[in-house]
């Protein structure tokens, strides 16, 4: 029987903020060892509904991830480390994946936006259609601390203090360590995902609201240069229950090789399963894992795109 998780504090989803700024006042100050239950938005934060169509994306610009926080850690000093234990994560009943023209790894190769809504009410599987079901393995795409540099900073790029890392292995049971750049640490989070492939190639995963419980521990004994994390078990145990199909990109540039691998996976999904290019691109973003297979035999490198065959259920 799973022990009940103690909840010391609760926040969110409102108020939100959409940038990193070390002058932003904390909503809450916690002591080491305390827990916070966060109610957070997905990247759409209300402007998409289960009935939305792709034309809702036309003219839409990214304003920054809707983040809940900041939470200050009492006694934290620049140079310390904040340890975040992910105790529990649950999704809202629905989510969405989308891309707009010009966004994502291959966004310039599409002439129209694409949007897919997902039913997450099962709690275990997100059904894509055509007998394809992606396991629900929720995680927070953004977990980060305030940067040392003054002013407002975009939430889009990952940083040494964390932020938009989109590391799908940060599911319940995992631990994340973030280097603290400002006194108090000032942690914020959001950008909930129900599932994602390593790479998130179309620029969104299965985006959704989440309720997550995190425990914060101040580590004044630990000094890091960038985030580190630990899982509580084997990687991707749910999808690693059958074979895999991989396509490759062989190029003299890692980004070119990455694009080539995904193009070939899109072609494979169309050839073998009858998916449109838009649907295949979305499925790559939520289920395909990119791997750097080799970087030592110049002048060419190999990037592989691995598709779990366990998601095909009929």
Based on the fold, state whether residues 260 and 218 are members of the same structural domain.
no
The count of domains in the chain is 2
**pLDDT interval class at 2 (50, 70, 90):** low
Residue 24 has pLDDT above 80, yes or no: yes
Residue 45: CB partners within 8 Å, gap ≥ 6? 13, 16, 66
What's the mean per-residue pLDDT of the chain?
95
Based on the fold, state whether residues 248 and 199 are members of the same structural domain.
no
Structure tokens at 23: 């002058």
Structure tokens at 310: 């366990």
3 vs 226, more confident: 226
Q: Which of 25-34, 62-71, 257-266 has the lowest mean pLDDT?
A: 62-71
Structure tokens at 143: 């977990």
How much of the chain exceeds pLDDT 70, in percent? 98
Residue 114 has pLDDT above 50, yes or no: yes
Angle, CA of 240, 203 and 83, to the nearest 5° = 65
How much of the chain exceeds pLDDT 90, in percent? 87
Using CA of residue 151, residue 157, residue 160, residue 161, what is the dihedral sign?
Answer: positive
Q: Which of 66-75, 183-192, 237-246, 266-275 has the lowest mean pLDDT?
A: 237-246
Based on the fold, state whether residues 294 and 183 are members of the same structural domain.
no
Mean pLDDT of 74-79: 98
Short-list 89, 91, 248, 231, CA closest to 167:
231
Give the CATH number of the domain where residue 128 resides.
2.60.120.580
pLDDT, one tens digit per residue, over 232-246 is 999 888 888 999 999
Residue 44 has pLDDT above 80, yes or no: no
User: Would you say 141 and 205 are in contact if contact means Cβ atoms under 8 Å apart?
Assistant: yes
In a domain, 3, yes or no: no
Three-class secondary structure of residue 234 per DSSP: coil
Where in the sequence is the domain holding 283, given as residue range(s)? 244-311
**pLDDT in the model for residue 1:** 38
pLDDT, one tens digit per residue, over 142-174 is 999 999 999 999 999 999 999 999 999 999 999
User: Would you say 155 and 140 are in contact if contact means Cβ atoms under 8 Å apart?
Assistant: no
Based on the fold, state whether residues 222 and 184 are members of the same structural domain.
yes
- The CA radius of gyration of the chain, in Å to the nearest whole number, is 20
Helix 254-273 and helix 277-287, axial crossing angle in degrees, nearest 10: 120
Mean pLDDT of 49-60: 85
**pLDDT in the model for residue 130:** 85
Based on the fold, state whether residues 173 and 196 are members of the same structural domain.
yes
Based on the fold, state whether residues 53 and 129 are members of the same structural domain.
yes
| Last residue in a domain, options 198, 230, 262 | 230
Short-list 107, 154, 148, CA closest to 259:
107
Cα–Cα distance for residue pair 264/259, rounded to 1 Å: 9
**pLDDT in the model for residue 47:** 78
Using CA of residue 141, residue 36, residue 175, residue 226, what is the dihedral sign?
Answer: positive
Structure tokens at 289: 């894992």
Angle, CA of 99, 156 and 146, to the nearest 5° = 155
Mean pLDDT of 252-271: 98
Structure tokens at 261: 């691998």
pTM as predicted: 0.95
Q: In Å, what is the CA distance from 101 to each residue of 58, 70, 282, 296? A: 9, 33, 13, 34
């Amino acid at each position: 029987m799973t022990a009940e998780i103690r909840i010391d504090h609760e926040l969110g989803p409102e108020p939100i903020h959409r940038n990193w700024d070390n002058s932003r006042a904390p909503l809450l100050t916690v002591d080491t060892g305390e827990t916070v239950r966060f109610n957070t938005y997905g990247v759409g934060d209300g402007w998409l509904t289960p009935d939305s169509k792709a034309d809702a994306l036309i003219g839409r610009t990214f304003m920054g991830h809707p983040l809940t926080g900041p939470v200050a850690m009492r006694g934290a000093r620049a140079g310390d480390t904040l340890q975040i234990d992910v105790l529990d994560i649950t999704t809202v009943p629905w989510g969405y994946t989308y891309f707009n023209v010009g966004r994502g790894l291959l966004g310039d190769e599409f002439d129209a936006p694409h949007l897919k809504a997902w039913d997450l009410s099962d709690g275990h599987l997100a059904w894509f259609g055509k007998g394809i079901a992606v396991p629900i393995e929720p995680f927070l795409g953004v977990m980060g601390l305030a940067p040392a540099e003054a002013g407002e900073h975009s939430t889009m790029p990952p940083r040494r203090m964390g932020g938009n890392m989109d590391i799908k292995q940060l599911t319940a049971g995992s631990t994340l360590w973030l280097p603290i750049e400002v006194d108090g640490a000032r942690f914020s989070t959001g950008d909930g995902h129900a599932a994602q492939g390593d790479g998130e190639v179309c620029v969104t995963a299965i985006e959704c609201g989440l309720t997550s419980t995190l425990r914060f521990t101040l580590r004044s004994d630990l000094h890091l240069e960038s985030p580190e994390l630990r899982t509580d078990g084997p990687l991707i145990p749910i999808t690693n229950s059958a074979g895999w199909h991989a396509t490759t990109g062989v190029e003299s540039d890692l980004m070119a090789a990455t694009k080539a691998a995904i193009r070939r996976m899109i072609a494979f999904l169309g050839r073998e399963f009858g998916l449109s290019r838009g649907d295949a691109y979305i499925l790559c973003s939520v289920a395909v894992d990119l791997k750097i297979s080799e970087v030592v035999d110049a002048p060419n490198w190999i990037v592989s795109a691995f598709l779990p065959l366990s998601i095909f259920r009929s």
